[in-house]
Amino acid sequence: MIASAPTSALPLPGDLSPEEEIRRMVRVNHAGEYGAKRIYEGQLAFLRSNSPLRAKIEHMAEQEREHLEAFEAELVQRRIRPTALFPLWHVAGFALGAATALMGDKAAMACTIAVEEVIDQHYAEQSERLGQAEAPLKQKIDQFRAEELEHRDTAVAEGGREAVAFPVLEAAIKTGSRLAIWLAQRV
């Protein structure tokens, strides 16, 4: 279950039950990993064939597929419906990956930096909220968070912060990522 405040605190109107918080966590994480998979598919489809980043992006994409499979299993095991926004994630993720790859290797890495920094914060908040009853889910989230941070570090090392108009690109992608998280929790 979710780690909660002292038992003397009464729930407020609109507070989620611990079960609903878990449903939202699993739903949004599944949606996010699907979006990440689609971003990398878009990048790989449009990245130059001789790009030195191709093998690194393929490795990151494989890890995202593993994360997606883990959250798909959680959805099934817990009988949680996935987000209704999958058609949007399918198109938007691929389009974001394709657009940044067409802008060049550094822009593709800028995309990874922006997304992974939002996901780092998102997974850290979830990990902090999970209690001992959800230790296996917490462990999974912590492991995936560490891998997402490796992706960010790779993107930084590959010059992602040197992309043309990096601050604008980063702000736009982070805003879109935060909006996607908010929507996937609810829809």
> Residues within the annotated binding site?
33, 64, 67, 116, 148, 151
Q: Are 80 and 134 in contact (CB under 8 A)?
A: no
Contacts of 98 (CB under 8 A, 6+ apart): 42, 43, 45, 46
Q: Which residues are annotated as a binding site for Fe cation?
A: 33, 64, 67, 116, 148, 151
Query: What gap in Å lies between CA 25 and CA 21, rounded to an integer?
Result: 6
